[in-house]
Amino acid sequence: MLYSIIDIETTGGHASGNRIIEIAIYNFDGEKIIDHYHSLINPERKIPVFITSLTGIDNEMVADAPVFADVAKEILSFTQDSIFVAHNVNFDFTFVKTEFQNINIPFNRPKLCTVRLSRKIFPGLPSYSLGNLCGSLGIDVQNRHRAAGDAAATVSLLHKLLLNDSEEFIHKSLKKNSRETLLPAHLPREQFDALPDTFGVYYFHDHKGKVIYVGKANNLKKRVISHFSGKQNNQKSQQFMNAIYGLSFEVCGSELLSLLLESHEIKKYFPVHNSIQKVGGKNYGIYQYEDNAGFIRLSIAQVSKSQQPLLSFRYISEARTFLLEKVRTYQLCHRRSGLQTAHCSEIDLCGACKGTTKSIAYNVKMKRALASFTDDNHSYIIKQAGRTIDEYGVIVVEAGRYLGYAYIPNDLSGSTIEELKPFVNRHPDNRDIQKILAMYQRR
């Protein structure tokens, strides 16, 4: 078996918009180096100062170097019928593949990642960066952050991995149905393998265990692998992949339950790599209070955690439309119903503004209107499948306000909201939740 151990230096950290400035290849048969290749490459653009300070490669050094198209045939020849090996292989492979794509040449090779293999074969080390890993394993590294030096160190690392691979992780990684090289370099394979093929919510964690992304899935395993099987040549994708050190999940009974949990968790953890639903507008609620004159009054305000509204709506316009209908039906005061700030404009319907209707008489009408708020259209239960065959899921909405969801054992019947309330996993109501429920009802 032939391994092509490759290291590159580049103008930046992602293949989209950056170029290779140096490449080194060592062809290794598992015991000895049988050939090697090294070249500076003219990136046809300026090398950033911080790259020069890191690698020592400056614009003058690459001015007379060949461009990638000039060395493409040599690289193809050197890696022909071999396994592409690198430390964090997806980074190097993506750059090389992109360079070939730029000159309309396809490039595909089987891959091995020495970061992932080291985590399997040498578990428990303090760091798996190339420099620290070589220090832990007693590998001498010369010319750090230069392609030839880092590639040579990776050859020594691969040799140690081959010698210590008692469980044949390398052989398993090279199987066609293995997804090993698709996964981020720092993500443990066993965490991915634990994913079930069912509805749920998944969480990516950074090196400190912090949640950096939350997603929902109809099939957890397929959805998670889809993050890593597409293009990863832009800066955002590279940063995302490099930041993933852990994976956890929670099984849900249905797509709707997954959507509701995902929305809640995004707002709870505020993950850096989620772009939607983190802030999202709060929805609007109708609130009740009594003024100094003894009149029951209503107001429209954004829903908060401290107060529970009588009803909640996705938009303020929906709340106003609802109240306007009640005002007309029960002959209420526009101002005392939260629809106007000045005196009621429809004085013929409103004796309160005239002073001819006392608070006791007015409150009788208001209480009739309030009683109509809690009709069946605003309070309901949605029954869903459970996580197992021994349970079912329920989503509870009371007076237009989402309370949360619960998983109920099959032998426990609950047909009313009051019966189900003690079991509900309470979640805040908000505009995103209301959108999800409205979408479900439209379906």
- Report if residue 410 sits inside a domain: yes
Same domain, 86 and 133: yes
pLDDT > 70: percent of the chain: 94
- Report if residue 278 sits inside a domain: no
Q: Give the model's confidence band at 281: pLDDT under 50 very low, under 70 low, under 90 confident, else very high.
A: low
- Report if residue 279 sits inside a domain: no
Same domain, 87 and 161: yes
Same domain, 120 and 196: no
Same domain, 161 and 93: yes
Q: Give the model's confidence band at 279: pLDDT under 50 very low, under 70 low, under 90 confident, else very high.
A: low
What is the rounded average pLDDT for all residues in the chain?
90
| CA-angle at 257, arms to 255 and 259, nearest 5° | 70
Same domain, 262 and 157: no
C-alpha–C-alpha distance, residues 70 and 74, integer Å: 9
187 burial (CB, 10 Å; 0-12 / 13-18 / 19+) is: buried
Query: What is the arithmetic mean of pLDDT over 413-438?
Result: 86
**Helix H or strand E segment including 148:** helix 147-164
Same domain, 166 and 27: yes
C-alpha–C-alpha distance, residues 337 and 342, integer Å: 12
pLDDT of residue 287: 92
Q: What is the pLDDT of residues 374-421, one digit of tens each?
A: 654 578 899 999 999 999 999 999 877 889 999 999 888 777 888 888
pTM (whole model) above 0.85: no
Q: Give the model's confidence band at 32: pLDDT under 50 very low, under 70 low, under 90 confident, else very high.
A: very high
Domain end (from 161, 181, 201): 181
| Total domains, the chain | 4
pLDDT of residue 231: 65
Same domain, 175 and 214: no
C-alpha–C-alpha distance, residues 77 and 426, integer Å: 62
pLDDT > 90: percent of the chain: 65
Q: What is the pLDDT of residues 333-352, one digit of tens each?
A: 888 888 887 666 554 557 66
Structure tokens belonging to residue 263: 């929305």
Same domain, 202 and 224: yes
C-alpha–C-alpha distance, residues 428 and 53, integer Å: 50
- Report if residue 275 sits inside a domain: no
Structure tokens belonging to residue 428: 């805040």
Query: What is the arithmetic mean of pLDDT over 298-311?
Result: 82
CATH at residue 205: 3.40.1440.10
Same domain, 261 and 291: no
- Report if residue 328 sits inside a domain: yes
Q: Of the given ranges (71-80, 227-236, 376-385), which has the lowest mean pLDDT?
A: 227-236
- Report if residue 341 sits inside a domain: yes
- Report if residue 57 sits inside a domain: yes
Non-local (6+) Cβ contacts of 208 within 8 A are none
Same domain, 162 and 56: yes
Structure tokens belonging to residue 166: 């008692």
Domain end (from 154, 181, 208): 181
The residue among 305, 271, 302 whose CA lies nearest residue 286 is: 302
Q: What is the pLDDT of residues 232-267, one digit of tens each?
A: 667 788 889 989 999 999 999 999 999 999 999 999
Q: Of the given ranges (326-330, 382-386, 396-400, 423-427), which has the lowest mean pLDDT?
A: 396-400
- Report if residue 36 sits inside a domain: yes
Domain end (from 269, 295, 312): 269
pLDDT of residue 375: 55
Same domain, 65 and 206: no
Asked if pLDDT for residue 221 goes beyond 70, the answer is yes
CA distances from 270 to 265, 378, 417 (A): 8, 30, 31
The pairing of beta strand 200-205 with beta strand 83-86: unpaired
Residues spanned by the domain of 208: 189-269
pLDDT top residue among 309 and 199: 199
Same domain, 157 and 86: yes
